[in-house]
Amino acid sequence: MHKPIEGFSKLTKEEKIEWVTSNYTTNPEAAKSLLKRYWNPNQNVQKRHDEFIENTLSNYYLPFAIAPNFLINEKLYAIPMAIEESSVVAAASKAAKFWLNRGGFKTKVLGTEKIGQVHFIFNGNPSELEAFFSNIKPKLIASAKHITTNMEKRGGGITDIELRKKTDKLSDYYQLHCTFETLNAMGANFINSCLEQFAETLQQEAENYLGFSNTAKPIEVVMSILSNYVPNCLVRAEVRCDIDELQEGEMNGDEFAQKFVQAVAIAKAEPFRAVTHNKGIMNGVDAVVLATGNDFRAVEAGIHAHASKDGRYSSLTHAEIKDGVFSFWIEIPLALGTVGGLTSLHPMVKLALEILGNPSAKELMQIVAVAGLAQNFAALRSLVTTGIQKGHMKMHLLNILNQLEATEAEKSQLVKKFKEQTVSNAAVKEALNKLRS
């Protein structure tokens, strides 16, 4: 029976490791060895990693890869991706190569507005609250001047504050709906600092306002926080070509295009399919977001909310055939940053951004959207032609062989063997046993 521990965060790293391995592992010495094996040999780098989060014991590595040959707005990119799932990088690279000689990817940022809200309860007369807000709106903005000055010098800052009545959703519930421009920063800390200042000013001004009939604490602030749903921080990525350029093996371009458009239509109509369809998009999006030190959980939440914006979960991508031209595109909300946070602290993030040409936040939005679109194109291309498993399982072959503890010589022979055979766990295991016997 495990016992609670007091003051775990105050222990040294070695003491934390000793406690965890002694109490929660069957072989403490092996566990200690594993944790220490994944420390960075450079003490300065390791110290920086340790300080990213709390109670660190070691590092948890993910593969860092490159998907080359992405032509985006006539500029060639090699896109860094950090992900553990086999076939994702290969699929992205294959899609990039496919579109390289068909005009590449075209992208456009449609908006960069970020959002935060002050949530509060008001149980008085709505018209009195509206009059109060009109009176204090300039004071709210002025009260945050010490926070916004530097951002304003760079061209960003607070863009608006609205009073929103939400009493149809929750009794006496109102909010300050605030919008921001944060330029190359994701801006979470900036936005939250502004919101907390708004909340403080709102509460203080309400206590001294003489226009409320109910003067006994008329406004009660519940919380102040940014939103990860940013429907007006939007980017579009698209590919298009004549359907004659889409021939796939024995399938002519028109047949391929028709099946492809039908596959997207199914993802639009059927939520069970849409979830998997969009998960494939996020394979590409998350891998680039993670490699560039951005918050992939926030991106995931916002994008999936966008997929439900019409009241039903649906496809994030769209496809059509018009006048003999095939078009495939995506529009997704992406709140990203290229300064601040891990972008200036994590050495691999710095390298990833350097490989991308040190993009602005707007440029990174476009690159990430392209990665998502490419991933979806590759998946749908497989689904409507050979099926998804043929390519995926071939890429998964080395994982299976590593799980079976195959030697390098065995891997080499079996990779050759399965070039023309269907890969499955059972088939690989049988082939390995035959080879060993």
Q: Is 236 helix (H, G, I), strand (E, B) or coil?
A: strand
Contacts of 420 (CB under 8 A, 6+ apart): none
- Domain span holding position 42: 8-50
Give the position of tokens 């590092």: 59
**Residue 212's CATH number:** 3.30.70.420
Query: Does 172 lie in the same domain as 82?
Result: no
Using the predicted structure, report yes or no on whether residue 394 has a pLDDT greater than 80. no
Both ends of the chain: CA-CA distance in Å?
46
Query: Does 240 lie in the same domain as 220?
Result: no
Q: 437: pLDDT confidence band, cut at 50, 70 and 90?
A: confident
The pair phi, psi for residue 361, each rounded to 5°, is -60, -40
Q: What is the pLDDT, as a whole number, of residue 390? A: 58
pLDDT digits (tens, 9 = 90+) for 185-211: 999 999 999 999 999 999 999 999 999
Please give the structure tokens belonging to residue 237: 């990525």
Of residues 265, 194, 251, the one with CA closest to residue 224: 194
In this structure, what is the dihedral angle of CA atoms 67, 68, 69, 74, given to the nearest 10 degrees? Answer: 90
**Regarding predicted confidence, which is higher, 32 or 423?**
32
Query: Does 400 lie in the same domain as 289?
Result: no
Q: 395: pLDDT confidence band, cut at 50, 70 and 90?
A: low
Q: Is residue 58 part of a domain?
A: no
Beta strand 106-109 with 173-181 is unpaired
Q: What is the pLDDT, as a whole number, of residue 63? A: 96
Q: What is the pLDDT, as a whole number, of residue 431? A: 81
Beta strand 173-181 with 219-227 is unpaired
Q: Is the dihedral of CA 379, 381, 386, 391 positive or negative?
A: negative
Q: Mean per-residue pLDDT for 164-173?
A: 97
Just list the catalytic residues. 85, 279, 295, 392
Query: Does 235 lie in the same domain as 88?
Result: yes
Q: Is 7 helix (H, G, I), strand (E, B) or coil?
A: coil
Query: Does 428 lie in the same domain as 349?
Result: no
**Regarding predicted confidence, which is higher, 44 or 318?**
318
Q: 435: pLDDT confidence band, cut at 50, 70 and 90?
A: confident
Using the predicted structure, report yes or no on whether residue 280 has a pLDDT greater than 80. yes
Q: 263: pLDDT confidence band, cut at 50, 70 and 90?
A: very high
Sheet holding 114-122: strands in order across?
A: 157-165, 173-181, 114-122, 219-227
Angle (CA) 124-127-129 rounded to 5° is 60
Q: What is the pLDDT, as a whole number, of residue 297? A: 97
pLDDT, mean over the chain: 93
Query: Does 378 lie in the same domain as 300?
Result: yes
Q: Mean pLDDT check: name the lowest of 105-114, 117-126, 369-378, 401-410.
A: 401-410
Q: Is 175 helix (H, G, I), strand (E, B) or coil?
A: strand
Q: Is residue 2 part of a domain?
A: no
Of residues 223, 246, 218, 264, the one with CA closest to residue 376: 264
Q: 262: pLDDT confidence band, cut at 50, 70 and 90?
A: very high
DSSP string, 241-269: EEGGGG-BTTB-HHHHHHHHHHHHHHHHH
Q: Is residue 212 part of a domain?
A: yes
**Residue 244's CATH number:** 3.90.770.10
CB atoms within 10 A of CB 98: 18
Please give the structure tokens belonging to residue 44: 């300065």
Please give the structure tokens belonging to residue 82: 């950090």
Query: Does 196 lie in the same domain as 127?
Result: yes
Query: Does 221 lie in the same domain as 81?
Result: no
Using the predicted structure, report yes or no on whether residue 318 has a pLDDT greater than 70. yes
Using the predicted structure, report yes or no on whether residue 398 has a pLDDT greater than 90. no
Q: Mean per-residue pLDDT for 312-325?
A: 98
Of residues 206, 194, 200, 192, the one with CA closest to residue 122: 206
Q: What is the pLDDT, as a whole number, of residue 232? A: 97
Using the predicted structure, report yes or no on whether residue 392 has a pLDDT greater than 60. no
| C-alpha Rg value of the chain to the nearest Å | 26
Q: 83: pLDDT confidence band, cut at 50, 70 and 90?
A: very high
Q: What is the pLDDT, as a whole number, of residue 396? A: 65
The pTM for the full model equals: 0.89
Burial bucket for residue 160 (CB in 10 Å: 0-12, 13-18, 19+): exposed
**Regarding predicted confidence, which is higher, 388 or 90?**
90
Using the predicted structure, report yes or no on whether residue 127 has a pLDDT greater than 60. yes
Q: What is the pLDDT, as a whole number, of residue 408? A: 85
Q: Is residue 56 part of a domain?
A: no
Give the position of tokens 């959002």: 115
Among residues 227, 242, 260, the one where a domain terminates is 227
Q: Are 313 and 275 in contact (CB under 8 A)?
A: yes
Q: Are 287 and 83 in contact (CB under 8 A)?
A: yes
Q: Is residue 1 part of a domain?
A: no
d(CA 161, CA 134): 10
Q: Is residue 158 part of a domain?
A: yes
Partners of residue 107 on adjacent β-strands: 237
Query: Does 188 lie in the same domain as 86?
Result: no
Query: Does 380 lie in the same domain as 335?
Result: yes
Query: Does 257 lie in the same domain as 215?
Result: no
pLDDT digits (tens, 9 = 90+) for 130-140: 999 999 999 99
Q: Mean pLDDT check: name the lowest of 108-117, 247-256, 416-425.
A: 416-425
Using the predicted structure, report yes or no on whether residue 293 has a pLDDT greater than 70. yes
Using the predicted structure, report yes or no on whether residue 391 has a pLDDT greater than 70. no
Query: Does 413 lie in the same domain as 275?
Result: no
Query: How many structural domains are present in the chain?
Result: 4
Q: What is the pLDDT, as a whole number, of residue 406? A: 84
Q: Is residue 55 part of a domain?
A: no
Among residues 188, 210, 227, the one where a domain terminates is 227
Q: Is residue 59 part of a domain?
A: no
Q: 389: pLDDT confidence band, cut at 50, 70 and 90?
A: low
